[in-house]
């Protein structure tokens, strides 16, 4: 999946093409000269602190909010003038729940299916999001995780080519988040292009083919999770204990060489040896810190 997405992005087969995007709210600049290119079939993660411009960007991609400047093309059209037919090709899962509380799961999904010219089969979608056993349950009786799954069902019922997910797992417990990840992977395997905003670095690393880190309305870094780690914080940390038991650590870009030197010095087993590479969270915090300076 990752290789295909990178190929799409490099050949110009783009689901999203954004150049110089700008948006202000009064005196506050939410988005400033932001560029994004997202290939068809790609899972693309957008990271950033609160107020960085993530949700505003997603709202502009969907056509829900006007922009002040820049060029934006989504599925071949400008969202500002997108037709109803164009909108039917995009699925959205907002942070807030959208399902009516008194209807059952099946009634809700079937009702939303009538909004689209060529919807997916409602019962198939209910099974896809893992709510088959809850199909006849009222929405108000669902757990938080189940309601979020229903929100996803409403986002994909139209058979979208592009799915926009804005902080989709906020408030989930760890088990529910992992189940949700499986659902997103299944949708991606079907060929759906997915744009995901999240505060969870492990979520971004688990799901995204590529990432953009946004700070103060600009993209400050972009690439694959492994590529960002290598580019912005290549050093590893080697930790061990000396013969007297005192702890030692060393940051190095050649950890194998350091371990080999320690092996010779200790003539074999190195007490308390631990080699750790920078995590995506390490890189993210460094990028945000640089931006704040």
Query: In this structure, are residues 120 and 161 in contact, taking their beta carbons and an 8 Å threshold?
Result: no
Q: What is the pLDDT of residue 91?
A: 92
Domain boundaries, the chain: 2-221, 231-292
Would you give per-residue pLDDT tens digits along the chain (293 residues)?
444 444 445 445 899 999 999 999 999 999 999 999 999 999 999 998 888 888 899 999 999 899 999 999 999 999 999 898 999 999 998 876 667 788 999 999 999 999 999 999 999 999 888 899 999 999 999 988 888 889 888 998 999 999 999 888 876 778 778 878 888 888 899 889 999 998 888 888 889 999 998 888 889 889 998 888 777 766 888 999 999 999 999 988 888 999 999 999 998 899 999 998 777 777 777 777 654 33
| Top-level class of domain 2-221 | alpha beta
Closest CA to 137 of 189, 101, 170, 183: 101
Q: What is the pLDDT of residue 97?
A: 64
Q: Which CA distances in Å does 103 have to 107, 138, 176, 275?
A: 6, 5, 23, 54
Q: What is the pLDDT of residue 12?
A: 55
Q: What is the pLDDT of residue 103?
A: 93
Q: What is the pLDDT of residue 160?
A: 92
Query: Which tokens in the block code for residue 157?
Result: 């019922």
Interatomic CA distance for residues 61 and 272, integer angstroms: 50
Strands 236-241 and 247-252: antiparallel
Q: What is the pLDDT of residue 40?
A: 93
């Amino acid at each position: 999946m990752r290789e295909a997405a990178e190929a799409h992005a490099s050949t110009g087969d783009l689901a999203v093409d954004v150049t110089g995007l700008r948006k202000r709210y009064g005196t506050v600049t939410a988005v400033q000269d932001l560029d994004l290119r997202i290939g068809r079939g790609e899972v693309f993660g957008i990271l950033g602190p609160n107020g960085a411009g993530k949700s505003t960007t997603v709202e502009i991609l969907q056509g829900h909010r006007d922009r002040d400047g820049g060029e934006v093309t989504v599925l071949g059209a400008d969202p500002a003038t997108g037709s109803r037919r164009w909108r039917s090709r995009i699925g959205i899962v907002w942070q807030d729940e959208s399902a009516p509380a008194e209807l059952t799961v099946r009634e809700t999904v079937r009702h939303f299916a009538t909004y689209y010219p060529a919807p997916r089969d409602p019962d198939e979608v209910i099974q896809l999001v893992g709510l088959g056993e809850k199909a006849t349950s009222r929405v108000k009786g669902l757990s938080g995780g189940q309601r979020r799954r229903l929100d996803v069902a409403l986002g994909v019922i139209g058979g979208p080519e592009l799915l926009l997910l804005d902080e989709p797992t906020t408030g989930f417990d760890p088990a529910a988040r992992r189940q949700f990840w499986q659902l997103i992977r299944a949708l991606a395997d079907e060929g759906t292009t997915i744009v995901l905003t999240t505060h969870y670095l492990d979520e971004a690393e688990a799901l995204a083919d590529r990432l953009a880190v946004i700070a103060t309305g600009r993209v400050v870094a972009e690439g694959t999770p492994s590529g960002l780690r290598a580019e912005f914080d290549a050093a590893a940390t080697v930790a061990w204990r000396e013969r007297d038991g005192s702890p030692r650590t060393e940051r190095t870009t050649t950890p194998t060489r350091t371990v080999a030197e320690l092996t010779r010095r200790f003539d074999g087993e190195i007490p308390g040896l631990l080699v750790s590479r920078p995590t995506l969270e390490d890189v993210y915090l460094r990028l945000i810190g640089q931006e704040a300076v």
